[in-house]
Amino acid sequence: MMEKTVVLIKPDGLQRGLVGEIMHRFERKGLKLVGIKMIRLTDQILDDWYSHHKDKAFFKDLKSFMEWTPVVAMLWQGLDAISAVRKVVGITKAREAEAGSIRGDFGMSGSQNIIHASDSMESAEKELGLIFNGDEIFDYNSSMDLLIYSKDEVVS
């Protein structure tokens, strides 16, 4: 299924100069960039974003970490993009993430883990709504689609 998924380059990724490297990986994979902005996350956004973590001991630290600097928010589109992007990102605890994934190649921490990616259709929709306005999401044809997907996949 054609899906959109939200990726955030977290404050540690931004400060470490990994923005270009991370974008390059998604572009090379064949995902289509349909939205991008820099945004400073607020308590209000994060309370909603991480509502499932609100009772966890790390919740307060997680929020201050995410508010440390702006983040780079991106919307990537592709067939089954949610799971494809999560494979490129790697598991939460970066020191155990597979080599070749973004966290596996660039991180050691389970909290300062460089990047966020939506984990389901529901969270992708919720996160998209928290960050992007309708006019910041772009629908366009790319001739790359014909190289990346077979004809039957492009119409699915």
Q: Smallest distance from the beta carbon of 93 to ligand CMP, in angstroms?
A: 8
Among 58, 96, 125, 137, binds ligand CMP (CB under 6 A): 58
Under the criterion CB under 6 A, does residue 4 sit at the interface with ligand CMP? no
- Residue 151's contacts (CB-CB under 8 Å, 6 or more residues apart) are none
Q: Is 43 helix (H, G, I), strand (E, B) or coil?
A: helix
Number of residues forming the site for ligand CMP (CB under 6 A): 7
Q: Is 24 an active-site residue?
A: no
Integer-rounded Cα radius of gyration of the chain? 15
Written as one string, the DSSP assignment of 7-27 is EEE-HHHHHTT-HHHHHHHHH
Q: 107-126 mask for ligand CMP (x: CB under 6 A)?
A: ---xx-x--x----------
Which of the ranges 17-25, 77-85, 106-114, 137-145 carries the binding residues for ligand CMP, by CB under 6 A?
A: 106-114
Between residues 13 and 78, which has the closer beta carbon with respect to ligand CMP? 13
Place of tokens 């596996």: 104
92 touches ligand CMP (CB under 6 A): yes
Q: With CA atoms as reference, report the closest residue to 44 among 118, 121, 131.
A: 131
Active-site annotation, residues:
116
